Amino acid sequence: MPTKTRFALKGKGRDSYLRLVLAFPLASIRSDEHLTEAQKVLDKLLAEPELDDGAATYLDALSDLVAAYEDAHYAIEPASDADMLRHLLEAKGITPAQLSRDASIAKSTISEVLAGKKPFSRGMIRRLADYFSIDVSVLAANL
């Protein structure tokens, strides 16, 4: 029995959504082959200069299905503390010595992190987050 909801597509948006569902049904992705086909559909939709409400809704739903499959089968490990610090230094265009001076972190601590010998401490995470103007959760992934 159909359920009435507040969300509903009407007119051209509904028609485009239904056409897309008929061409490539929205269902859990269960194989790499299915993933490849879903990615082709995503690429085609993303290449469109403008999407109506129906196509945009379909794109969002298919993107969620692709993301769920990729998260389960191709999870990306968080970057190491050394890689994260290297990236932040490069992005800001500063040296470890300048970071040491500006953020009041011992040069030896920065060197040990960059060499992979030492992880971020909670205090270092706070100082780095403040210095680089980023959320602490970006640096705390490995805690």
For residue 135, report the phi and psi dihedrals to the nearest 5 degrees. -75, 145
CATH superfamily for domain 81-142? lambda repressor-like DNA-binding domains (1.10.260.40)
Classified as helix, coil or strand, 34 is helix
Q: State if pTM tops 0.75.
A: no
Q: Where in the chain is the domain with CATH 1.10.260.40?
A: 81-142
The pLDDT score that the predictor gives to residue 2 is: 62
**Largest Cα span, the chain:** 68
Distance CA 26, CA 62 (A): 6
Cβ neighbours of residue 34 closer than 8 Å, sequence gap 6 or more = 69
Distance CA 10, CA 85 (A): 50
Residue 37 token pair: 């086909």
Distance CA 58, CA 68 (A): 15
Each of the 143 residues of the chain gets a pLDDT tens digit; together they read 566 666 677 888 889 999 999 999 999 999 999 999 999 999 999 999 999 999 999 999 999 999 999 999 998 888 899 999 999 999 999 999 999 999 999 999 999 999 999 999 999 999 999 999 999 998 987 67
For helices 11-23 and 32-46, give the axis angle rounded to 10 degrees. Answer: 150
Residue 133 token pair: 């103007």
The pLDDT score that the predictor gives to residue 80 is: 93
